[in-house]
A and B are shown apart, each in its own frame.
Chain A
């Protein structure tokens, strides 16, 4: 393990997060940065920094050749892709293999199989994982009509190459079908360069429950429990927590078993997440997708299991067997994560870049803050609006929530607008406190009330 050097092909809080663990493990670090990130916290923390291009992502963080060249020049023998950017692009692990570099993530072929949502559904079916009635790739409107006939309204179109809500459309009536199909195909083509759609029966009032898994190169895959990420806005997670509340034991166990069965079937050899929709009232769950990367909300799992997921991910990539067995995974207390973003909640959550003039962070034994920001940091307009991930813990959910309430009010950020007022409003809602929400609750119920409250 000594004398190994890890190149981090990312930016923001996740670059800082990965570099910190590498340092603890005695690994040297190289960070690739764009010209906009030369002064970033990650750049200050890394042992070496290589500027790979201008701020535009296609000329820097998405340029595989530049990243491989930076690794070869600095003698880095492993690449961690973080999340976003190239994290789920199979061409990166492929380029790593061709250049004798260890990719800290799954194999390229695994990424392809699970990344294509249609082939992922086929795999899930083979592992007897339940899923909503759905189609293969739709080639024509005749295909659409046949598939919808089988699934029944409401349905949801999804992009085969999809992610982040693009190419998705929910349709409740037949007359909207043709228009929605055309719009979603076009959106998928624009976003992913592939217009292939499939259609599924749309599960209403469902919760988003996901399973953290990790596997090694010796065929062992375990789970590290679940996270509930139901509070979402425009298909983006806003608050995540673990373990999910009000989830019957039997349903919980069936979901965990499904996630492990599916990932085991492909010999999954890194950290990954299997996402499900859960209809608690009907005691049913449905496979959604697999994310073949470390996820934004991974700290929730780390806080309740005590496992450093990035460390474990690096160890298995370097060829070690998993350091723990399923029986070793124990859950302690409750953790909640809020994504603090530079968005103006009074202006339709429009991003609010600029200089952070004041940055006073919450402190405490039950508070974890993953961030790359500091007083005087300039949030550039090029990337995303994530300022920090605020994670609070407690022996019980009530304690974790009380700690979150205090931490949000202690967090002082000036110079840019943030979503903190919205987060404070959400966690005070009775349905949230009861744990009785679904993935449309935030948009349908809370947002109108919030907008009314700030008028």
Chain B
């Protein structure tokens, strides 16, 4: 779990160099949108590595403040995917 930054937000980082997917499949809605509520185990995105998929959970209860990458962007290990404002 990442630490809270200066603005009180928790960055969710890519665990592995991969391709970021904001939805389960092209025809379906996003896992989460900015402003959406998440729990620790809410799936927020899929990461694809060479046709293998891993789902990423929020890891914290709160609100998605900002999503920093676009669907199907490549991300590197440690890149911040989204910022979550933890519930008080």
CB closest chain-A residue, reference B54: A350
Q: Report whether A353 and B49 are in contact in the complex, using a CB–CB cutoff of 8 Å.
A: yes
Complex contact B52–A382 (CB within 8 A): no
**Contact between chains at A55 and B50 (CB < 8 Å):** no
Inter-chain pairs besides A351-B49, A353-B17, A381-B48, 8 sampled, C-beta below 8 Å = A351-B52, A354-B16, A380-B17, A380-B74, A381-B17, A381-B74, A382-B19, A384-B50
The answer on a CB contact under 8 Å between B49 and A350 is: yes
Contact A353 B72 (CB under 8 A): no
Asked if A60 CB lies within 8 Å of chain B CBs, one says no
Is the Cβ of B49 less than 8 Å from the Cβ of A56?
A: no
Can you name 23 A-B pairs with beta carbons within 8 Å? A36-B74, A55-B74, A350-B54, A351-B49, A351-B50, A351-B52, A352-B16, A353-B16, A353-B17, A353-B18, A353-B49, A353-B50, A354-B76, A354-B77, A380-B74, A381-B17, A381-B18, A381-B48, A381-B49, A382-B19, A382-B50, A382-B74, A383-B50
CB of A385 within 8 Å of the partner chain: yes
Complex contacts, B17 vs chain A, CB 8 Å: 353-354, 380-381
- The CA of A306 and the CA of B17, in the complex, are separated in Å by 40
A247-B45 Cα distance, complex, nearest whole Å: 51
The A interface, classified by DSSP as helix, strand, loop or mixed, is loop
Q: Shortest 3 CB-CB distances between A and B: which pairs?
A: A351-B50, A353-B17, A381-B49
Cα A56 to Cα B73 in complex, Å, equals 10
A304 CB, nearest partner CB in chain B, Å: 31
Chain B 38-77 per-residue mask, 1 if CB under 8 angstroms from chain A, else 0: 0000000000111010100000000000000000101011
Chain B min CB distance to A187 (Å): 14
Q: Which of A36, A56, A351, A383 counts the most B-chain CB atoms under 10 A from its CB? A: A351
Complex Cα–Cα for A352 and B47 (A): 13
CB distance from B16 to the nearest CB of A (A): 7
Docked CA distance A382–B16 (Å)? 13
Instruction: Name the distance in Å between A31's Cβ and chain B's nearest Cβ.
Output: 21
Least CB distance, B86 to chain A, in whole angstroms: 29
Chain B residues touching A, range: 10 to 19
List, in ascending order, chain A residues with CB within 8 A of B52's CB: 350-351
Q: List, in ascending order, chain A residues with CB within 8 A of B48's CB.
A: 381
Please name the residue on chain B nearest to A56 by beta carbon.
Answer: B72
Whole-angstrom distance between the Cβ of B68 and the nearest chain A Cβ = 18
Docked Cα-Cα span, A322 to B42, in Å, equals 61
Query: Please, which residue of chain B has its CB at the minimum distance from the CB of A350?
Result: B52
What residues on A are CB-neighbors of B76 within 8 Å?
354
Residue of B nearest to A383 (CB): B50
Q: Tell me the minimal C-beta distance from A416 to chain B in angstroms.
A: 9
Please give, as numbers and ranges, the residues of chain A lying within 8 Å of B19 by CB-CB distance.
381-382
Cα distance, A1 to B50, chains bound together (Å): 38
Query: Which one of B18, B50, B54, B74 contacts A385 once the chains associate, using CB atoms below 8 Å?
Result: B50
Give per-residue flags for A38-56: 1 if the beta carbon is below 8 A from chain B beta carbons, else 0. 0000000000000000011
Bound Cα distance from A385 to B18, whole angstroms: 13
A234 to B74, CA, bound (A): 27
Chain A residue nearest in CB terms to B48: A381
A291–B65 Cα distance when bound, in Å, is: 51
* Residues on B with beta carbons closer than 8 Å to the beta carbon of A381: 16-19, 48-50, 74
Report how far A381 CA is from B17 CA in the complex, Å.
6
Across the interface, which residues of B come within 8 angstroms of A382, CB to CB? 19, 50, 74
B4 to chain A, nearest CB (A): 28
Q: Which residues of A contact B18 (CB under 8 A)?
A: 353, 381
Q: How far is the CA of A257 from the CA of B77 in the complex (A)?
A: 52
Nearest CB in chain A to that of B75: its residue:
A381
A384 CA to B17 CA in the complex, in Å? 14
Chain A 349-386 interface residues, beta-carbon cutoff 8 Å to B: 350-354, 380-385
Q: In the complex, A354→B75 CA distance in Å?
A: 11
What residues of A have a CB within 8 angstroms of the CB of B54 in the complex? 350
Residues on B with C-beta less than 8 A from A55 are 74
Contacting residues, chain B, for A380 (C-beta < 8 A): 17, 74
Nearest Cβ on chain B to A97's Cβ, whole angstroms: 31
